[in-house]
Amino acid sequence: MSFEPQTEPVGAAGASATLGRRRVLRGLGGIAGFIVTIALTFLGLLAITFFIGRVIPIDPVLSVVGDRATAAVYEAARVAMGLDQPLPVQFANYVADVLSGDLGRSVSTGRPVIQDLSRFFPATLEMATIGILIGVALGVPMGVTAASRQGSWTDQVIRVVGLLGYSVPAFWLGLVGLAVFYARLRWVGGPGRLDIFYDGLVPPVTGLILVDSLIAGDIDIFWNAVTHLVLPASVLGFFSLAYIARMTRSFMLDQLSQEYVTTARVKGVPERLVIWRHAFNPIRVPLITVIGLSYAGLLEGSVMIETVFSWPGIGNYLTTALLNADMNAVLGATLVIGAVFIFINKISDVLYRVLDPRAR
């Protein structure tokens, strides 16, 4: 501290003030840049869903009025859908509609898509959150252990588990899980969020059954929800575990090969401290990015899992809509999952830049 030269010129205070202002300005520029990137990406997402919904289908009107409609009805529907206008105008209208929360009406449920989505989203959120908790709680220690015993059989097992996360179909694992833990062993509840006789007993406050049942003070329903949630969340958690363990291992190997680790060992620091304090601390920041990516990935992975477990979330809504050719619902769900995905990605990107001094 005192080794620094103390002979700063008189103008130092002023200089550091401009420096501070410049830093603030750069920070503001960063935020503006971030907002522009996010807005552009969302616009890209909208362009893609617009393209899928309006450009690819040979005749979007036909899917609304049916092929027996008279020419007058057909024409009226075409004008009502705005399809008589040029594509850029259609796209502008589409963006305006989406921004005002109008995603159209679902053909199969008859309700506005936005209402359906907000009703189904909490179930997906609940499952993905428990899934990521399982993934982090098991994946990080596994990755650290594998790296600290590189080449041992523990390491090999963890590597294979990591690769299985890339090669096992999620829907298959869910089915096998149901067959073993529900049908054979009776350890967990079956498909759905609750047993049928508990359904609708808890007043929805947050839409998360675990939270709602606690608010209502109903422990029975809470436990029932837990038994239903544990299997799908574990299957989902397995995939984030595989990814997180793989990434943690490679980050840790990077750190453990650095010279400061050798120095710490030579100084006689206990191995446990070398690993968890010296080597693990610097990888916490990149890990946040990995966990963020993995969380976003789980929202996507839940599409398959929800279908298998009849879980009333957005994924299930999406696949049901797909089978009914309910395009408004498909595009709405795509838009919402895509938006959440992009948002989480960008947030973890920003967190990385804020927390890691090297990336500043």
Partner 1 sequence: MTARDWLLDDSPSSRLQASLGRFYRIAVALMRNPLSVLGGIIILVLIVTAIGAPWIAPYSAIGQDLANRLMPPSAAHWMGTDELGRDIFSRVVWGSQITLTIVLLVAVIAAPLGLLIGAVSGYFGGWADRVLMGITDIFLSMPKLILALAFVAALGPGIENAIIAIAITTWPAYARIARAETLTFRSSEFISAVQLQGASPLRVIVRHILPLCTSSMIIRVTLDMAGIILTAAGLGFLGLGAQPPLPEWGAMISRGRTFILDQWWVATMPGFAIILVSLGFCFLGDGLRDVLDPKQADKH
> If we measure between CA atoms, which residue out of 316, 290, 269 comes closest to residue 123?
316
Instruction: Please give the size of the binding site for partner 1, defined by CB under 8 A.
Output: 55
Say how many Å lie between the first and final Cα of the chain, rounded.
24
| Encoded tokens for 119 | 């009703």
Cβ contacts of residue 237 below 8 Å, gap of 6+? 130, 131, 132, 133, 134, 135, 138
* One residue of 98, 194, 338, 348 binding partner 1 per CB under 8 A: 338
CA angle 336, 340, 346 (to 5 degrees): 145
131 binding partner 1? (CB under 8 A): no
Among the candidate windows 10-18, 218-226, 274-282, 335-343, which touches partner 1 by CB under 8 A? 335-343
Looking at residues 149 to 168 of the shown chain, list those that interact with partner 1 (rule: CB under 8 A). 163-164, 166-168
Distance of CA 195 to the CA centre of its chain: 27
Looking at residues 270 to 299 of the shown chain, list those that interact with partner 1 (rule: CB under 8 A). 296-297, 299
Supply the minimum distance, in Å, between the C-beta of residue 94 and partner 1: 15
SS3 122: helix
52 binding partner 1? (CB under 8 A): yes
In angstroms, the CA 307 to CA 302 distance is: 8
* One residue of 29, 44, 82, 270 binding partner 1 per CB under 8 A: 44
CA angle 338, 340, 343 (to 5 degrees): 105
41 binding partner 1? (CB under 8 A): yes
181 binding partner 1? (CB under 8 A): no
Residues that bind partner 1 (CB under 8 A): 40-41, 44-45, 47-49, 52-53, 56-57, 163-164, 166-172, 175-176, 178-179, 183, 246, 250, 253-254, 257, 296-297, 299-301, 303-304, 307-308, 318-319, 322-323, 325, 327, 330-331, 333-334, 337-338, 341-342, 345-346
